[in-house]
Amino acid sequence: MRFCILGSGSAGNCALLQTRQTRVLVDAGFSTRKTEQLLTAIGESMESIEAIFLTHEHGDHAAAIKGLARHPHIKVFANAATARVLQDGLKHRVDWQLFETGARFLFSDLEIQSFSVPHDAQEPVGFVFSHGDDDLLSTRRRLAWLTDLGHAPRHIHEHIREADVVVVEANHCADLLKADTKRPWSVKQRISGRHGHLSNQSARELLEAVASPRWRQIFLTHLSRDCNNSETVQRAFASTLHCPYSVVEAGGGTPFYDFL
């Protein structure tokens, strides 16, 4: 299993996850044209994508769904609430693959565990993607995908504890958000609220609270372009994490990460 983040932040969120048998996207928050460009840049294409897994319906996670009429082969996995609100705004019918939040299910050689997260969307979820049989020939590896949440209930700790790699948002610096002049007070309240986004401090507290994690790499993502930056995140996380971590700049992506 290997993956790369194609883009992260309020302008769009999308990642490519590969196994020997399949290629899927985790969220699709850019236009279809932009997504095609991002895939071409790493030697892939929309024609090779078999499925998209949506965390929720917000445009920075689901914008590409509007252009899937040109790619009818792509299946879209979402819970019923997310699918309903997105389908209502479309002229074409998406190949929805519905799951219940909290369900564990299979697609190709991936096992997917969904779980609820607190965010101001219809029914937002996080995912843990697992691959391999946990034997000598195929070591089992897990990727936890956790963005867009205002706080982290205890069940989230348990879902991400066994992951090899955790992708989690560090959306904003609380001080920079407070001082920001572009956002009205109501928007700041939404972002910092319990159904908004994790601050650097909240993300650090979440990761520190997980007992005996198996993590080998952490990716800190979904940074606010105006209210956060790589240097601020690194200061917030200095000397607190006991495994390697990478900060994904707003609008940026990552090289491929290979699960060895």
In the sheet with 257-258, reading across from the earlier edge strand, the strands are: 95-98, 75-78, 51-53, 23-28, 14-18, 2-7, 257-258
- Per-residue confidence (pLDDT) for residue 234, from 0 to 100: 95
Q: How far apart are CA 244 and CA 146, in angstroms?
A: 17
Q: Residue 166: beta bridge partners?
A: 144, 218
The mean per-residue pLDDT over the stretch 4-31 comes to: 97
Q: What is the pLDDT of residue 157?
A: 97
Angle CA(113)–CA(140)–CA(7) in degrees, nearest 5?
60
- Could you tell me the domains of the chain? 2-252 (3.60.15.10)
What is the overall mean pLDDT for the chain?
Answer: 96
How does DSSP classify residue 13? -
Per-residue pLDDT, 260: 81
pLDDT for position 238? 87
pLDDT, average across residues 73-92: 97
**What was the pLDDT predicted at 259?**
94
Residue 134: pLDDT band with limits 50, 70, 90: confident
- pLDDT of 60 strictly over 90: yes
229-242: per-residue pLDDT in tens?
999 999 999 877 88
Sheet with 110-116, edge to edge strand ranges:
104-107, 110-116, 125-131, 141-146, 165-169, 217-221, 245-247
pTM beyond 0.85? yes
Per-residue pLDDT tens over the stretch 241-259: 889 999 999 999 999 999 9
